[in-house]
Structure 1
Amino acid sequence: MKLAKTAKIAAITLLLLALLTPLTVTQAQQEEGKITAYVQHYMKMDRSGLLLINDTVSLVTEEKQATIQEIFVGVPRNLKEKLSHITAKPLTKPSIELSVEKAELWEENFYGAKITFKQPLPLLPGQRYIILVSYTLTDVVTPHPKETSQFNITFPIIPALSLQAYLCNSTLELPPGARVLPGASHSTNTTWTERAVYVKYLKENVEPFSGERAWMQIAAPRIQPIECPFMQRKIILSQYGRLEIHDTYHIVYKGNGRLTNLTVPLPPHAQSVRARGSLGELTAKQQEGNEAVISLEVSVDPGQTTVFTVLYELPWSEYVESRGGSYTLKLCPNAGVRWEVENFAVKVVLPKGAKIRVVEPEPSLKKSTGFSYTIEIDYVEETPINPLQLSLSYEYSPIWAPLYPTLWTALLAFIVYAAARTIRPPPPVPTVPIPVDTIRSFLNLYKRRESIMRELTAIEEEARKGRMPRSRYRSRRRRLEAELARISKSMEPLKEELRRAGGRIADAIAMIEIAEAELQEAESGMRRLTIRYRRREISSDAYKRLLRDYRKRIDKAKTTIDEGLLRLREELGA
């Protein structure tokens, strides 16, 4: 009897718990607050055509406490091909660790970042938690087919968020001197200053995943659309306390008309700026705002590539710490670089006699030549929103600085003494061995480079005739240009070694380089001539005569290149 009574009480208790549990869950759900956002959407158009975006997202809850585990921030899916890099970091302290990965949601028309908090983020009423989301968009600038200083630009005027936004304040910063032309997709307010031009747009109560794509036409003479498939930053540490930088660029021009000079960004405090091309010194004029205008060696037409090097110095005390005989170099390797670089290489040359202690990150190559050490670090992609870090510690004795002048003085004294003692016939000049392996490697790379250039010409013709989709064309072109940049990088040390060999080998290299410059100039002139003829700026007779002259120059340059390559092949058989 007592057992039955106990079982009855237990059954009643379980029934009451079952009835009360849904009520408790429902009540807890009702108490969970709703999280919304305020967004500062800031976009900056670089001279190169790259669009840098910073979204400051403030998360708030109005009445009740709420928690959040993840948030999506990005752009509409029709801008997917243009979004290249995206990062996120918390601005509120104490911050909660978060992870970022790219995500695509078809039903929500979204592409961007999925930001996940390592721990659920609690928010109290009136409290704000701020996240900064940074990303870059490429190929947003399309040159006008006729006007060289007019462009069509496409950009996300409203970002795509997984939360409702009470307010989205959008600002587009354009280079100084730009003008917004009539006929834009959205009605905006424009403000002009000496520093820049600001295009502003405001929208309230933005629903989740309601990002908007906008377009407008602008007149901006300072925009120079380019791509940079390869860049090498060479950092030279001198034994005399000088920090010299050599930036070598491979630039592809994407604008309309001819490019005769290019504005290049510089790191802060850069001084003594110079420039150098394949044939000698170039004119470089340093400007305010950490920039320099470089006069190119040969004018560049759309789709063509140009290579040049910018040289400058940085203040030693800003980047190098010294304690006795120990030195530490700390800097951001991509400081001042406002372009996206597909293949970015950093090379550090230490003073003679220095010994490396610690390098972070781990270099891909360590090389010693005599008493000099060189390290190289390769990065697959470089973007302005991802600052890189380099720390290098080494030991160096000040005895090495006066050592070389002392050796030269002693050598000169010995020569004078020997000449005074006796005059003897000069010894036979030793025969310099022919660098067979270097010549063979150079010829193989040159052959591969010519094959890639022919393939680039072929796919451009296919795309022009509409036989190849634009997406496939861009993908193949970028792959070929990246390979071309790697080959050009590999050929430079081979050229230097062949120049040092002297004689016929050095003459052949000089012959090839001069002929290549002549070939590039003649091909550019032929394209400009064709454009002028299509615009009916010259007569048919003048067009045919000038075209014949350009073809003669091209044939002569190609013949000279073949002669130079033939000389190198003859050296292999010598």
Structure 2
Amino acid sequence: MKTTAFAFILLMVTLMVFASFLSNMKVVQAQSDYTIEHVNHEVTVLYNGYVLINDTVTINVVTGQATDFLIGFPYKYGQHLLRSVAYNASDFFAVTLNVPLGDPPRVGFYAVKIDFPQGAPQVFSVEFVLSNRLLVQDSQNATQFTSSFPAYPSLVKPVAVCNGSIVLPTDAVLVQSVPGGLAYGEENLPEFTDSAGSATFTSSVDNVRVMDIEEFSSEMRVTELGEIDCADTYYLTNKATEALSFTDIVLPSSAFSVTSQDQLGRKMAAPAQINQTANRYRVTFESPLKTNESFGFSVGYVLPGNYTVQRGTNSFVFNISMFQHLNYYVAQASVSFIMPEGARVVSLEDTLVGDTFSLSRDVYQETATITKGNVISLDSFNAEILYNYNPLWLSFRPTMWVWALAIVGCTVAVVWKRPKAAVARVPAPAAVVKIGAEYLKSFVDSYGEKMKIALELDSLEVRVSKGRIPRRRYKVLRKTLETRLGTLDRDLAESKDRLRGAGGKYSDLMRQLEISEAEINEAETNVKSIEARHAGGELSLEAYRKLQSDYQRRKDGAESTIKGILLRLREEIR
């Protein structure tokens, strides 16, 4: 009995040892080995202070197939990492952040893992974006800056040759650097290198703007004649110790008629072109931004018709390159391409795959939107949109106006031919209050600003519903706009009372104005009501669109009446 038990135990131990041996054989067979022949480590200080690191790696696979690669830097830089991307000439590779460096893991490093499903290519690049908190502006000399960065990459194997370089902003002069100079290198760079670098340099504040560009949104509206009306909106925060009085932006090539305005629609000084090759413009603020102060502004411009090419009778292609020559970092960006009325998008070019994009359809118009996060120059892309458009749509709006005028004319003619009752003479008021031209001008300007703010509020609601603007910024902007609108409403109410009390034509114009305002409010209330009913399933899509079109037509008519009243008041000023 004991002999049988002993034999059984011996057999089990032998099987376990054999299984372990087979497992180890498989692991050894599955393992791959490679050497790192060369690394080109390039550190670039961007216009808004962020640090862009590009490591181009050349490896030589000795055995097996390398399916992943670890690369990192000293752990203290990990908290400043905003983004990492890996790619080669033809593909992008998945990157896993904050993984251990080495097996067993080495303490004191922050690493990322790049996965190569088809095996590692011989040459590939890894880019890191580090926060502009690593750039320090000298408190005594505003033109002197010090940027910190990893001097060399941290790897799990030695590197035969590692060449490092530092790229500073335009016209910057190096004062001192670690390891030394703008170009440096190391042969037989050890594995798990822990090397911090820095560069102190002087540069005009024109070329370094320590700021956060939190949001960029661009709307490109393709007109019926092929030109593109554009509006780029920026929202930024000053992170420098000095006040920020201007910033530089990049526009698409061939842009003309460039204008700018603040977030409330107030006109700013026209942007000046400072670099023709990159088509870089300088936007000057009305009031300098203090440290940690935020500001939003828009830049409007027009692109020529050569961005749109006709391929067939009713077939067109809109083609544009975005984010080229970008020398700054943008936290969140979106680009919307608004097609002409009546156009139908047929296809979006494959270059858009991988980005977050959407296609929205209104009654007569379609809009393609591309959204990106953590944008740098590497994210430049070529958007090619194929759409069908019948040129007969050019006459759509004029035809609608002709029909509207015809209906109004017929109505007037019918009313004019009706017999009129005798009208008793009413004596004119003995005196009419005199209204000065300056007072009228103030009223018209205030009302115009109120209409702009109303449009901005509508635009804000659309942008937040589509996720193009952070909720925190939406609340701040909405509160700012509503506060200003409340002030204007109070001032305009007093002005209306005074103009109404003046009697005569002013009293009649104020009565028409109030009727039109009531019609707009009623139309907006009705639109919200049918939206709720449609969402709840009470209204079909066809009925919803028909009612929406009807209410929008009433609102447009009331707004046209208000514009006509303001135009008559402007004529009184002259």
State if a TM-score over 0.5 links the two structures.
yes
Residue 395 of structure 1 deviates from its aligned partner by 2.3
Unpaired runs of at least 5, structure 2: 1-17, 419-449, 462-468, 494-520, 523-574
Residue 201 of structure 1 deviates from its aligned partner by 1.4
Question: Which of 254, 271, 279 pairs up with 1:284?
Answer: 271
* Alignment of 1:143 onto 2:137: yes
Alignment of 1:89-104 (within 5 A): 89-91=87-89, 98-104=93-99
1:210 corresponding residue in structure 2: 193
Q: Does the C-alpha gap of structure 1 residues 148 and 367 become closer, same or farther in structure 2, counting only changes over 3 Å?
A: farther
Q: Given residue 240 of structure 1, which amino acid in structure 2 is its aligned partner?
A: L
Partner Cα separation in structure 2 for residue 83 and residue 362 of structure 1: 22
Partner Cα separation in structure 1 for residue 305 and residue 111 of structure 2: 41
Residue 300 of structure 1 deviates from its aligned partner by 0.9
Partner Cα separation in structure 1 for residue 306 and residue 78 of structure 2: 44
Q: Secondary structure at the match of 2:375?
A: coil
Alignment of 1:400-549 (within 5 A): 400-405=393-398, 482-487=470-475, 504=489, 507=492
Residue 69 of structure 1 deviates from its aligned partner by 3.0
2:548 corresponding residue in structure 1: none
Alignment of 1:65-84 (within 5 A): 67-84=65-82
Partner Cα separation in structure 1 for residue 297 and residue 32 of structure 2: 60
Q: Does the C-alpha gap of structure 1 residues 386 and 110 become closer, same or farther in structure 2, counting only changes over 3 Å?
A: farther
Deviations 1:198-254 (A, max 9, x none): x11111111112142212322111201110122211111111111232110001011
Residue 131 of structure 1 deviates from its aligned partner by 0.8
Alignment of 1:174-189 (within 5 A): 174-182=168-176, 184-188=177-181
Partner Cα separation in structure 2 for residue 308 and residue 290 of structure 1: 19
Q: Given residue 122 of structure 2, which amino acid in structure 1 is its aligned partner?
A: Y
1:308 corresponding residue in structure 2: 297
Q: Secondary structure at the match of 1:486?
A: helix
Partner Cα separation in structure 2 for residue 320 and residue 74 of structure 1: 46
The structure with more radius of gyration: 2
Partner Cα separation in structure 2 for residue 101 and residue 388 of structure 1: 24
Q: Given residue 297 of structure 2, which amino acid in structure 1 is its aligned partner?
A: F
Partner Cα separation in structure 1 for residue 327 and residue 148 of structure 2: 19
Residue 46 of structure 1 deviates from its aligned partner by 1.6
Note if contact 1:233-1:333 (Cα within 8 Å) is conserved in structure 2: no
Q: Secondary structure at the match of 1:158?
A: coil
Deviations 1:459-489 (A, max 9, x none): xxxxxxxxxxxxxxxxxxxxxx954323357
Alignment of 1:107-506 (within 5 A): 107-121=106-120, 129-139=122-132, 140-182=134-176, 184-188=177-181, 199-221=182-204, 222-277=207-262, 278-288=265-275, 289-318=278-307, 322-331=311-320, 334-358=323-347, 363=357, 366=360, 368=362, 371-387=364-380, 390-405=383-398, 482-487=470-475, 504=489
Q: Does the C-alpha gap of structure 1 residues 99 and 270 become closer, same or farther in structure 2, counting only changes over 3 Å?
A: same
Deviations 1:370-420 (A, max 9, x none): 634445454454344334565544321111224445665787799899999
Residue 424 of structure 1 deviates from its aligned partner by 10
1:529 corresponding residue in structure 2: none
Q: Does the C-alpha gap of structure 1 residues 442 and 422 become closer, same or farther in structure 2, counting only changes over 3 Å?
A: closer
Q: Does the C-alpha gap of structure 1 residues 406 and 179 become closer, same or farther in structure 2, counting only changes over 3 Å?
A: same
1:522 corresponding residue in structure 2: none
Partner Cα separation in structure 1 for residue 111 and residue 33 of structure 2: 26
Partner Cα separation in structure 1 for residue 477 and residue 216 of structure 2: 9
Q: Secondary structure at the match of 1:352?
A: coil
Q: Secondary structure at the match of 2:117?
A: strand
Indicate the percent of aligned positions where both proteins have the same amino acid: 20
TM-score using structure 1 length: 0.61
* Alignment of 1:40 onto 2:25: no
Deviations 1:270-297 (A, max 9, x none): 3433222231142211122221011112
Partner Cα separation in structure 2 for residue 270 and residue 160 of structure 1: 44
Residue 100 of structure 1 deviates from its aligned partner by 2.3
Note if contact 1:260-1:296 (Cα within 8 Å) is conserved in structure 2: yes
Q: Does the C-alpha gap of structure 1 residues 318 and 366 become closer, same or farther in structure 2, counting only changes over 3 Å?
A: closer
Partner Cα separation in structure 1 for residue 366 and residue 67 of structure 2: 49
Deviations 1:523-570 (A, max 9, x none): xxxxxxxxxxxxxxxxxxxxxxxxxxxxxxxxxxxxxxxxxxxxxxxx
1:535 corresponding residue in structure 2: none
Note if contact 1:72-1:161 (Cα within 8 Å) is conserved in structure 2: yes
TM-score using structure 2 length: 0.61
Q: Does the C-alpha gap of structure 1 residues 208 and 297 become closer, same or farther in structure 2, counting only changes over 3 Å?
A: same
| Equivalent residue pairs, number | 416
Q: Does the C-alpha gap of structure 1 residues 74 and 290 become closer, same or farther in structure 2, counting only changes over 3 Å?
A: farther
Note if contact 1:45-1:51 (Cα within 8 Å) is conserved in structure 2: yes
Note if contact 1:108-1:209 (Cα within 8 Å) is conserved in structure 2: no
Q: Given residue 107 of structure 1, which amino acid in structure 2 is its aligned partner?
A: R
Partner Cα separation in structure 2 for residue 118 and residue 33 of structure 1: 16
Q: Does the C-alpha gap of structure 1 residues 485 and 280 become closer, same or farther in structure 2, counting only changes over 3 Å?
A: same
Deviations 1:306-328 (A, max 9, x none): 11111223344346564321334
Partner Cα separation in structure 1 for residue 395 and residue 221 of structure 2: 18
Note if contact 2:252-2:321 (Cα within 8 Å) is conserved in structure 1: no
Unpaired runs of at least 5, structure 1: 1-17, 122-127, 189-198, 426-434, 447-480, 509-570
Note if contact 2:56-2:126 (Cα within 8 Å) is conserved in structure 1: yes
Q: Does the C-alpha gap of structure 1 residues 176 and 378 become closer, same or farther in structure 2, counting only changes over 3 Å?
A: closer
Deviations 1:488-524 (A, max 9, x none): 576799899x89xx9948959xxxxxxxxxxxxxxxx
Deviations 1:146-185 (A, max 9, x none): 3222212111221222221111111111122212224x43
